[in-house]
């Protein structure tokens, strides 16, 4: 090598290292932006990039202070904590990163809020929630079925594959949902699930700040909520605090120990919610319930970690504020650390005091489910702060009532005894009630598509206390077994080009399907204005001779519901038994037939639920 060659080689090396060092590598800054005027003045900003921890960070912006710059075990992370004073104005915060002589400025945006936190309304017992799985409802945009670089492609033949449903498909059918009489929609999670298989359901999130591109963009999601609001529909977002997908970017480069629950070998949760409530449970069982993984491809997050705890609370607030949401559905409420859930719910309700959150608590006993509802006086003093819970015990009782003949504790007695336990709940009227959902067998399967039973379940759901949730497709008698989720979450007919039947237009539906759909539509639209159902008290009478009778009533309105659970016989009502609530009423109007009825001569056909508005 000549001197010149040596000189050139040294120069090249120096230039290369200089050029590399020129760049401060910032790959992610989360939250993507924030707002002024939030009640909590503290903001955590996660900065991710190669060796970003070697940076000195400074900020000069009026009324915003950089409180803390935290480095952690992994040098690719920095956690910045800012204090945003009430006087701070919207604008771009110049976050200056300096490594040696190299500087880089990231302009972090603080926006104005569209409305105050108090102005956010939420779902109430006046609402009925339509639950739909975005991948399985309607394919409104074929161009996003297959996205280059995403792990799982389109395969409609695979029950566990991606079927191409998307946000555009939902938007295209909002008028159907609205005309049916539903007032809100709950979408299973829409955030990115870039997992190699079974990614369609959305519960293995790989980016907490990005809508899955196969559904659309963040902006598409925001616009969908806006369109819903313009049509008078509310939107409830499904959120997951317990786990994420193993392809999540931060799982592949963990910030520190204690971000997730790690074990020497794969360790599953015992899935026994009772251990958390049980005064006799071992710590071993309690701990495994919360720290064990849900599935091999779903790492269990440790919400006790200060940095992760803040990250996740802010993430949920970010989506509420960005998309102007109307409520949250919290997935697997008993699985994250319960102290964290209480902290999380209070942080959300601090910003949005009129907000509603429903926690999923999948158990068949009110004593266990009620433990997780805000305001419950638990022996251990725990209060989750989550206003609503999913009433699984009632779902099982509704199914049992309709599918069994009446006996001492079977058939309608099963429903009666379940509702007799309402004192367990701090607010039973706030429970989200349902007969089926995306995880348990569809009622059309349970009832073998018996149209009488389908109508009974609909009538019960729309008149009992609570906030009804309806699973997409149930209104057209769609089947789906609980032990095969891929088929349970089947495609809504009419959502795909070339579908032979179309639930939205009734094309190709059987007369029975149309009958059930029209029945559901009629009751839903009646319920919209039924004050006694929204806000009325509930009183029921012991089932007698296959008849179960209950009342919903306010000072000015009374609705009487008569369940005839006999499979063969029309039953005449002995109204004297119900004098306590019938006193003063002379006439009744049958909500389903619009016919007036004589209170002294009321008959209800076999296996039906009759609904009467009482008149003085
Ligand atoms: Ca699509």
For 326-345, the pLDDT digits (tens) are 999 999 999 999 999 999 99
Tell me which of 85, 113, 141 is where a domain ends. Answer: 113
Q: Is 380 a catalytic residue?
A: no
Q: Which pLDDT belongs to residue 458?
A: 98
Q: Which pLDDT belongs to residue 444?
A: 98
For the ranges 19-33, 309-323, 421-435, 459-473, which has the lowest average pLDDT?
19-33
Tell how far the Cα of 222 is from the centroid of ligand 1, in angstroms: 17
525 is a domain residue: no
Q: How far is residue 520's CA from residue 514's CA, in Å, rounded to a whole number?
A: 10
Is residue 270 over pLDDT 90? Answer: yes
pTM of the model as a whole: 0.95
Tell how far the Cα of 169 is from the centroid of ligand 1, in angstroms: 8
Q: Which pLDDT belongs to residue 603?
A: 94
Q: Which pLDDT belongs to residue 19?
A: 44
Q: Is 339 a catalytic residue?
A: no
Domain coverage including residue 608: 535-615
Q: What string of H, E and C letters represents the secondary structure of 378-416?
A: CCCCCCCCCCEEECHHHHHHHHHHHHCCCCCCCCHHHHH
Tell how far the Cα of 135 is from the centroid of ligand 1, in angstroms: 8
508 is a domain residue: no
Q: Exactly one of 326, 360, 436, 613 is catalytic; which is it?
A: 360
Q: What is the CATH number of the domain that holds 542?
A: 2.60.40.1180
Mean pLDDT on 414-435 = 98
Mind listing the pLDDT tens digit for each residue in 546-566?
A: 999 999 999 999 999 999 999
Q: Which residue has the tokens 């094309």?
A: 507
3 is a domain residue: no
35 is a domain residue: yes
Tell how far the Cα of 325 is from the centroid of ligand 1, in angstroms: 23
Share of the chain above pLDDT 90, in %: 94
Mean pLDDT on 142-148 = 96
Tell how far the Cα of 173 is from the centroid of ligand 1, in angstroms: 14
Q: How far is residue 289's CA from residue 277's CA, in Å, rounded to a whole number?
A: 12
**Nearby residues of 603 by Cβ (< 8 Å), 6 or more positions away:** 570, 571, 572, 573
Q: What string of H, E and C letters represents the secondary structure of 137-182?
A: CCCCCHHHCCCCCCCCCECCCCCCCECCCCHHHHHHCHHHHHHHCC
Tell me which of 113, 134, 169 is where a domain ends. Answer: 113
Mind listing the pLDDT tens digit for each residue in 294-327?
A: 999 999 999 999 999 999 999 999 999 999 999 9
On whether the CB atoms of residues 604 and 573 are closer than 8 A, the answer is: yes
CA angle 502, 508, 514 (to 5 degrees): 85
Mind listing the pLDDT tens digit for each residue in 201-212?
A: 999 999 999 999
**What's the longest Cα–Cα distance across the chain?**
115
Other C-beta atoms within 10 Å of 60: how many?
9
Q: How far is residue 124's CA from residue 436's CA, in Å, rounded to a whole number?
A: 20
Is residue 236 over pLDDT 70? Answer: yes
Number of structural domains in the chain: 2
Tell how far the Cα of 217 is from the centroid of ligand 1, in angstroms: 12
Confidence band for 6, pLDDT divided at 50, 70 and 90: low
- Pairing state of beta strands 102-111 and 64-71? unpaired
Q: Exactly one of 141, 207, 326, 331 is catalytic; which is it?
A: 331
Mind listing the pLDDT tens digit for each residue in 481-539?
A: 999 999 999 999 999 999 999 999 999 999 999 999 999 999 999 999 999 999 999 99
Is residue 222 over pLDDT 50? Answer: yes
385 is a domain residue: no
Q: How far is residue 399's CA from residue 401's CA, in Å, rounded to a whole number?
A: 6
Mind listing the pLDDT tens digit for each residue in 242-257?
A: 999 999 999 999 999 9
What mean pLDDT is reported for the chain?
A: 95
Task: Give me 292's structure tokens.
Answer: 């064990």
356 is a domain residue: no
Q: How far is residue 491's CA from residue 65's CA, in Å, rounded to a whole number?
A: 51
Tell me which of 69, 86, 113 is where a domain ends. Answer: 113
57 is a domain residue: yes
Other C-beta atoms within 10 Å of 297: how many?
17
Tell how far the Cα of 141 is from the centroid of ligand 1, in angstroms: 4
Q: Which pLDDT belongs to residue 16?
A: 46
Q: Helices (DSSP H) in 210-365: which residue ranges? A: 218-230, 249-252, 274-277, 283-291, 306-323, 338-351
Mind listing the pLDDT tens digit for each residue in 62-115?
A: 999 999 999 999 999 999 999 999 999 999 999 999 999 999 999 999 999 999
How far is the CA of 271 from the CAs of 282, 290, 329, 454, 579, in angstroms? 15, 8, 20, 31, 47
Q: Which pLDDT belongs to residue 586?
A: 87
On whether the CB atoms of residues 551 and 538 are closer than 8 A, the answer is: yes
Question: Coil, strand or helix: which one is 135?
Answer: helix
Q: Which pLDDT belongs to residue 12?
A: 54
């Amino acid at each position: 090598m000549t001197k010149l060659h040596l000189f050139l080689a040294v120069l090249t090396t120096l230039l290369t290292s200089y050029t590399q060092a020129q760049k401060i590598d910032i790959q992610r800054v989360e939250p993507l932006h924030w707002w002024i005027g939030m009640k909590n003045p503290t903001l955590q900003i996660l900065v991710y990039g190669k060796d970003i921890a070697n940076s000195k960070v400074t900020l000069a912006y009026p009324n915003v202070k950089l409180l803390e710059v935290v480095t952690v075990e992994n040098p690719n992370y920095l956690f910045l904590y800012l204090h945003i004073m009430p006087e701070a104005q919207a604008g771009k915060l110049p976050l200056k990163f300096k490594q040696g002589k190299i500087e880089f400025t990231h302009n972090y945006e603080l926006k104005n809020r569209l409305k105050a936190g108090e102005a956010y309304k939420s779902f109430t017992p006046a609402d009925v929630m339509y639950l739909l799985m975005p991948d399985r409802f309607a394919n409104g945009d074929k161009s996003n079925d297959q996205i280059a670089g995403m792990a799982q492609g389109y395969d409609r033949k695979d029950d566990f594959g991606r079927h191409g449903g998307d946000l555009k498909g939902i938007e295209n059918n909002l008028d159907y949902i609205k005309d049916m009489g539903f007032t809100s929609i709950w979408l299973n999670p829409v955030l990115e699930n870039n997992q190699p298989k079974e990614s369609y359901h959305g519960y293995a999130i790989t980016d907490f700040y990005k809508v899955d591109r196969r559904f659309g963009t963040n902006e598409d999601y925001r616009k969908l909520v806006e369109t819903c609001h313009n049509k008078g529909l509310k939107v409830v977002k499904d959120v997951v605090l317990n786990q994420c997908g193993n392809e999540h970017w931060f799982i592949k480069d963990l910030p520190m120990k204690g971000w997730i629950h790690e074990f020497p070998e794969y360790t599953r949760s015992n899935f026994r919610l009772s251990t958390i409530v049980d005064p006799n449970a071992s710590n071993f069982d309690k701990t495994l319930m919360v720290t064990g993984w849900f599935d091999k491809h779903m790492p269990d997050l440790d919400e006790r970690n200060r940095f992760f705890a803040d990250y996740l609370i802010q993430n949920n607030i970010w989506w509420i504020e960005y998309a102007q949401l109307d409520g949250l559905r919290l997935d697997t409420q008993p699985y994250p650390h319960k102290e964290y859930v209480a902290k999380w719910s209070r942080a959300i309700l601090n910003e949005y005091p009129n907000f509603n959150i429903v926690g999923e608590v999948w158990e068949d006993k009110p004593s266990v489910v009620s433990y997780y509802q805000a305001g419950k006086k638990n022996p251990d003093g725990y209060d989750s702060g989550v206003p609503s819970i999913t009433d699984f015990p009632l779902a099982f009782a509704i199914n049992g009532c309709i599918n069994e003949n009446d006996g001492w504790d079977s058939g309608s007695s099963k429903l009666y005894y379940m509702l007799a336990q309402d004192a367990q709940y701090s607010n039973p009227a706030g429970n989200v009630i349902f007969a089926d959902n995306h995880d348990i067998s569809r009622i059309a399967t349970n009832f073998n598509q018996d149209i009488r039973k389908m109508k009974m379940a609909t009538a019960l759901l729309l008149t009992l206390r609570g906030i009804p949730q309806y699973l997409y497709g149930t209104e057209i008698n769609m089947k789906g077994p609980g032990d095969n989720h891929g088929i349970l979450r089947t495609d809504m007919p009419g959502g795909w080009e070339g579908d032979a039947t179309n639930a939205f237009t009734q094309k190709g539906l059987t007369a029975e399907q149309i009958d059930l759909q029209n029945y559901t539509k009629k009751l839903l639209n009646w319920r919209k204005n039924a004050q006694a159902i929204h806000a009325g008290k509930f009183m029921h009478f012991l089932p007698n001779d296959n008849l179960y009778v209950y009342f919903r009533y306010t000072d000015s309105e009374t609705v009487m519901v008569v369940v005839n659970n006999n499979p063969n016989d029309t039953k005449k009502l002995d109204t004297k038994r119900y004098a306590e609530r019938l006193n003063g009423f002379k006439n009744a109007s049958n909500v389903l037939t619009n016919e007036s009825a004589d209170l002294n001569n009321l008959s209800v056909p076999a296996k039906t639920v009759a609904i009467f508005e009482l008149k003085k």
